[in-house]
Amino acid sequence: MKAPLTRFAYVMVFLVAVTYAFFAFPKGIHGWQEKQRQIQDMEKRNAVLAREVERKKEHIKRLTDNPADQELEIRKRLKLAHPDEKIYILGEPEKK
pLDDT score of 5: 83
- pLDDT single digits (tens) 24-82: 776 767 777 888 999 999 999 999 999 999 999 999 999 999 999 898 888 888 888 88
pLDDT given at position 26: 66
**Calpha distance 28→30 (Å, rounded):** 6
Please tell me the predicted confidence (pLDDT) of residue 18.
82
